[in-house]
Structure 1
């Protein structure tokens, strides 16, 4: 064992090295660049701290869920609720039958399936006509109302739900407090035991619950990386916020209490009422935040999953992620309501503000990375590079991803740990690969571009997700 003097000497040497690095790292840089790098360092440290806090809180939620399931406390009476599954469908002939078929297998007592055929010009309507499912209703939208956006399609289904489903027949007069609206994308494969989320809605303050999203066609490095992306977001960021009631909605596999949706309904430019705001590219993120602002709680389920298609094409992935990133820029208009939200505590409010600022943080840190490469390549900057400094830089760049992936892939032994560390580096490469979308999205937002070409679905992959490559 080292003597105390040796430990002290090593500590002093380490501290001197850190101080020297901090003092001289910006030597030779233009003065205009210094604020960019200083702010970037602060943002990186804050991001790492935020992730560690959320990871610890997510671990707590996982332990509570495991204890509840082991003791039988995870069982809730789904029969207390009417489950309404809304499926927006625009040219979904390759996947819509599979999605509806799986919804018919969801084990809940009271159920309606509303598929919104939003002006499809392929065989989607024909496929739907051939499905014999007593709980299925197809809402066909035609021009000029069709193809106005996912928000408009969902609002149409929301109005039909009130007017017809709750206005006549079996479920006439059913209390909106006990109606759970579930959004399922046309490629979605919802967990047959989805009714387990009823335990969250036993708390009358819960307005939304998000299921864990998985990629079922994960047969390539790109789709495996997407599966890791959803796993990290759902497990770390979403579960970490569940205790505060600020977990946001993620669209596919999103459960919302109808009474909560009714409360935040707004009128569009055509005078039509609906919960989803028109023109929002990430309508799920927008509605989740507005539910929280209205005093409803948001939660993430760690047991109920929904599987969806991943994208094998990098070009298609860039298009999809750019749309999502532009949606992130759009919701910056909710910074004010978030700051004024009286329904959550100061810590939760700071976290939600930080979450909203994600695209700003990403853009700023990315700019510092680009400038670093330029300055190093041109010889403008020559920071001292020792083994310790390289290791420190590696830890700050890779540690968040490693923590996230290991938590998302929990409980798989030593081999699972090793595989998790390897996959974490794949996730890190993937994250930088799609990083430019934040700038592309900002450019589109600044220029007012809103049009999007729909990503074409792939032919149905193996029916059982276990047949795919397991990351």
Structure 2
């Protein structure tokens, strides 16, 4: 095979050729785009290191740590205690008990201390999703926290609403690092780096890598353009920003990925967002594949729901490169579906149509292998601090098991598509694992 024929990968594939060529185009663009984002992320790291001590100091902030809790008897005490251990002058820990039926209310009652507020929600209002719990907390902040007691009269521009999951452990340095980011009054939201604290097995190690890749590559690159995405845990929002984008019921809309929805509307309204990568929040990973699949199905379904923002992205007054990134990011589930469908088709053609699964000169084999593992390699290299060229071979080798993990969760994407098509939106909460160690 030589010349133009070397690029005719799918001769004899028939009608499937369209799908295979489309999948190849998606993969090539994804690797190229990720390489570009990798370069932007590296520049952002250097910028953050060089300007860490130059940022203006913001006014004293009121930190309202909001902890949505539904049957969190395993982790709630640990989470609340850690929030009170943070070095901040003004704080409120607002736990939203969303109709818990285990020992969560009893445990919270035993934790009573100044600054701890428990907002109890009962059925039928309770258990309508995380967005409703957060909106209730937002209303409570305005109607009670800022109108009564020691924080009365505090302006929304000086209030930070922090979302911490009930298994979350904020780093001690996180508030001071976030405060430096919020010295810029145009910053409406800061997402902190997420890590997994029980990364002792293959699945939890992969989840830790996944969050590191997402934060230290994709999020850091988007911070160059101030369009970092908001996550569900370790999310810091300026209250005045939330007030501006709030609807009749509050800032959060009913969505399975209410954090992603909030982020898109944040910069759609003209606010900036950024990512704090050197400190953040650690959380539990899932060691059970069935539980992980259920969680990722919910996330994928939320990602598919977010496609409704396509029109607003096309209408945004942003640069061309930002628009391309937003479109690429929001259509990732569709891209993943295309690639996921192409692989079994290629295997079938190989088995039953005598079509070579991979053929051609050595350079072509190397190219295909690079496309398959290039994104993972760049992500794993970005995970390390500092990034060093000598770590590239290690990152390349580690990309193989990580690629296996990404394929293990692909079935969740098809399940999410099925649920979306048949309008299934109910969810059973994934139980926490017992806490071991600090």
TM-score scaled by length of structure 2: 0.96
The answer to whether the 8 Å contact 2:96/2:119 transfers is yes
> 1:440 is matched with which residue: 406, 415, 420?
415
Partner residue of 1:390? Answer: 365
Superimposed CA distance per residue, residues 283-342 of structure 1 (whole angstroms, 9 cap, x where no aligned partner) = 101111111111111101012210000000000000000100000000000000111012
Q: How much is the aligned-residue C-alpha RMSD, in angstroms?
A: 1.6
Partner residue of 1:309? Answer: 284
Q: CA deviation at 1:235?
A: 0.7
Change (3 A) 1:412 1:52: closer
Partner residue of 1:374? Answer: 348
Q: Is structure 2 residue 12 aligned with structure 1 residue 28? A: yes
Unaligned stretches of 5+ residues in structure 2 = none
Partner residue of 1:333? Answer: 308
The separation in 2 between residues aligned to 1:277 and 1:412, in whole angstroms, is 38
| Mapping 1:151-300, distance limit 5 Å | 151-195=131-175, 196-267=177-248, 273-278=249-254, 280-300=255-275
Partner residue of 2:77? Answer: 97
> 2:325 is matched with which residue: 351, 354, 365?
351
For the residue of structure 1 that corresponds to 2:93, the secondary structure is strand
Superimposed CA distance per residue, residues 74-125 of structure 1 (whole angstroms, 9 cap, x where no aligned partner) = 6x64652111110000000010011111111111111111000110000001
Unaligned stretches of 5+ residues in structure 1 = 1-15, 268-272, 464-471
The answer to whether the 8 Å contact 1:217/1:462 transfers is no
Q: CA deviation at 1:414?
A: 8.1
Q: CA deviation at 1:393?
A: 0.9
Superimposed CA distance per residue, residues 222-281 of structure 1 (whole angstroms, 9 cap, x where no aligned partner) = 1000000000001111111001111110110000111111111113xxxxx211112x00
Q: CA deviation at 1:424?
A: 2.2
Change (3 A) 1:125 1:394: same
The answer to whether the 8 Å contact 1:326/1:442 transfers is yes
Change (3 A) 1:241 1:18: farther
The answer to whether the 8 Å contact 2:57/2:183 transfers is no
| Mapping 1:450-461, distance limit 5 Å | 450-461=425-436
The separation in 2 between residues aligned to 1:257 and 1:328, in whole angstroms, is 24
The separation in 2 between residues aligned to 1:105 and 1:79, in whole angstroms, is 21
For the residue of structure 2 that corresponds to 1:88, the secondary structure is strand
The separation in 1 between residues aligned to 2:284 and 2:394, in whole angstroms, is 23
Partner residue of 2:101? Answer: 121
The answer to whether the 8 Å contact 1:398/1:425 transfers is yes
Give the aligned length.
436
For the residue of structure 2 that corresponds to 1:266, the secondary structure is coil
The separation in 1 between residues aligned to 2:198 and 2:275, in whole angstroms, is 23
| Mapping 1:415-426, distance limit 5 Å | 418-426=393-401
Q: CA deviation at 1:191?
A: 1.1
Change (3 A) 1:27 1:413: closer
TM-score scaled by length of structure 1: 0.89
The answer to whether the 8 Å contact 1:180/1:257 transfers is yes
Superimposed CA distance per residue, residues 173-216 of structure 1 (whole angstroms, 9 cap, x where no aligned partner) = 21111111100000000111222111211111111100000000
For the residue of structure 1 that corresponds to 2:401, the secondary structure is helix
Partner residue of 2:130? Answer: 150
The answer to whether the 8 Å contact 2:373/2:396 transfers is no
Change (3 A) 1:78 1:109: farther
For the residue of structure 2 that corresponds to 1:300, the secondary structure is strand
Partner residue of 2:299? Answer: 324
The separation in 1 between residues aligned to 2:65 and 2:46, in whole angstroms, is 30
Change (3 A) 1:414 1:341: closer
The answer to whether the 8 Å contact 1:282/1:328 transfers is yes
The answer to whether the 8 Å contact 2:58/2:182 transfers is no
The separation in 2 between residues aligned to 1:350 and 1:413, in whole angstroms, is 29
Choose 1 or 2 for highest CA Rg.
1
The separation in 2 between residues aligned to 1:363 and 1:434, in whole angstroms, is 12
Partner residue of 2:384? Answer: 409
Q: CA deviation at 1:417?
A: 5.0
The separation in 1 between residues aligned to 2:95 and 2:400, in whole angstroms, is 40
The answer to whether the 8 Å contact 2:12/2:355 transfers is yes
